[in-house]
């Protein structure tokens, strides 16, 4: 059995406990004060970093789009590449369409075009790529290999057909205007007064008339050629669609096509040579040519040989060297 404490013993015990509690409170308060005084001295040296997050394909594509368009915008502002005189444009290797979208937006802004109706100002833009990609609204595209002579002929025929259709459209409008100006009575009287000999001469002239003679020179040729040929960017859409997916698989697995992937330093130079060959066929005198080389060795002697070749074709050739990239800005085709 426990014995009961006397009053004096109980009071001394309570006093002892009070002293212990006071000492404990003093110790805790001193420790917290030292912590608060010391912590700010070292808080600026230690920062909390968030966990690294890998960017998605969509974010990667958006960053690449911004980077590509800024490069072209810088060159455009410096050398006045795209202006009101730019009517026909060819983009070689246009997928995923970063440069093509910039040129479309710039031409719409310059010419004050509504609803992307570029044809209303006689502006025609064509994109060419071995990969399938829907072009921006108001433009056209051809899927094919730049090394194929058949594709070169298709591109040339595309712009020739534009000129033929334009000539036919103007011819129809002229004849309609003449018919509207004359009354039905005047037309009947002129037809009755024409002799058989005159009608025979007119029919002979119409038979001998060739539309191609009207623009057999440089009328069908274009004002600007841009080339951004390199290994394909990562696929962003159409994974369920064979039309869009199969070219990626074929390009990566076919030894005749994947030279820009297996050996980009030399493969991209071959792509540039093919673009230069096509440019010589299709660019009009005084036209402009933008050639971008990616993933190359800037000290490669073949680049200087390419520059000398371009200097024989153009009045002014400017070269911009970036990290593993090189951009030729060629102005005034001879």
Q: Is the pLDDT of residue 327 over 90?
A: yes
Residue among 288, 282, 284, 285 at smallest CA distance from 226 = 288
When pLDDT is cut at 50, 70 and 90, the band that residue 171 belongs to is low
Q: What is the pLDDT of residue 24?
A: 60
Phi, psi of 76 (to 5 degrees): -65, -45
Between the ranges 40-54, 221-235, 245-259, where is the mean pLDDT highest?
A: 221-235
| Spatial separation of the C-alpha atoms in residues 116 and 99, rounded to whole Å | 16
| Spatial separation of the C-alpha atoms in residues 197 and 212, rounded to whole Å | 28
Read off the pLDDT of residues 106-158 as tens digits, 9 standing for 90 and up.
999 999 998 888 988 899 999 999 988 889 999 999 999 999 999 999 999 99
| Spatial separation of the C-alpha atoms in residues 97 and 226, rounded to whole Å | 12
Contact criterion met (CB below 8 Å) for 126 and 142:
yes
Tell me the two tokens of residue 164. 């033929």
Name the one residue in this structure whose structure tokens are 């404990």. 24
Read off the pLDDT of residues 284-321 as tens digits, 9 standing for 90 and up.
999 999 999 998 888 889 999 999 999 999 999 999 98
Read off the pLDDT of residues 76-119 as tens digits, 9 standing for 90 and up.
999 999 999 999 999 999 998 999 999 999 999 999 998 888 98
DSSP character string of 7-33: HHHHHHHHHHHHHHHHHHHHHHHHHHH
What are the C-alpha distances in Å from 250 to residues 63, 180, 271, 287? 26, 57, 17, 35
Q: List helix spans (H) across the chain.
A: 7-43, 57-79, 98-111, 149-181, 184-193, 196-208, 211-214, 242-253, 259-262, 264-282, 301-313
Q: Which of 43 and 334 is assigned the larger pLDDT?
A: 334
What are the C-alpha distances in Å from 99 to residues 54, 122, 129, 161, 185? 26, 20, 13, 25, 57
When pLDDT is cut at 50, 70 and 90, the band that residue 2 belongs to is very low
DSSP 45: T
DSSP 4: P
Residue among 90, 225, 101, 206 at smallest CA distance from 158 = 90
Helix (H, G, I), strand (E, B) or coil at 163: helix
Q: Is the pLDDT of residue 34 over 50?
A: no
The fraction of the chain above a pLDDT of 90, given in percent, is: 44
Residue among 153, 125, 149, 122 at smallest CA distance from 137 = 125
Q: Which of 23 and 80 is assigned the larger pLDDT?
A: 80
The dihedral built from the CA positions of residue 21, 27, 28 and 33, taken in this order, carries a sign that is positive
When pLDDT is cut at 50, 70 and 90, the band that residue 36 belongs to is very low
Domains of the chain: 57-147+223-333 (3.40.50.150)
Contact criterion met (CB below 8 Å) for 130 and 247:
yes
């Amino acid at each position: 059995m426990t014995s009961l404490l006397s009053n004096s013993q109980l009071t001394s015990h309570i006093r002892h406990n009070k002293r212990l509690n006071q000492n404990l409170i003093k110790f805790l308060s001193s420790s917290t004060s030292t912590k608060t005084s010391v912590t700010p001295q070292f808080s600026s040296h230690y920062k909390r970093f968030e966990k690294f997050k890998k960017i998605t394909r969509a974010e990667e594509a958006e960053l690449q789009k911004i980077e590509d368009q800024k490069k072209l915008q810088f060159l455009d502002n410096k050398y006045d590449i795209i202006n009101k005189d730019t009517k026909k444009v060819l983009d070689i290797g246009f997928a995923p369409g970063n440069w093509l979208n910039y040129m479309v937006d710039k031409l719409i802004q310059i010419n004050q075009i509504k609803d992307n109706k570029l044809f209303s100002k006689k502006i025609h833009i064509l994109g060419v790529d071995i990969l399938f990609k829907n072009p921006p609204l108001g433009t056209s595209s051809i899927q094919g290999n730049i090394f194929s002579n058949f594709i070169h002929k298709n591109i040339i025929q595309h712009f020739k057909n534009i000129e033929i259709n334009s000539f036919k459209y103007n011819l129809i409008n002229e004849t309609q205007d003449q018919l509207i100006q004359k009354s039905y009575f005047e037309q009947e009287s002129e037809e009755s007064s024409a002799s058989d000999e005159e009608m025979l001469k007119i029919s002979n002239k119409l038979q001998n008339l060739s539309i191609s003679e009207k623009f057999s020179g440089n009328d069908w040729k274009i004002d600007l050629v841009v080339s951004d040929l390199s290994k394909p960017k990562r696929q962003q859409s159409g994974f369920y669609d064979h039309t869009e997916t199969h070219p990626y698989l074929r390009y990566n697995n076919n030894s005749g096509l994947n030279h820009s992937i297996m050996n980009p330093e030399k493969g991209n130079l071959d792509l540039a040579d093919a673009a230069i060959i096509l440019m010589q066929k299709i660019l009009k005198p005084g036209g402009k040519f933008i050639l971008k080389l990616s993933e190359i060795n800037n000290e490669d002697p073949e680049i200087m040989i390419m520059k000398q070749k371009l200097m024989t074709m153009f009045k002014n050739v400017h070269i911009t060297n970036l990290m593993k990239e090189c951009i030729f800005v060629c102005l005034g085709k001879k």
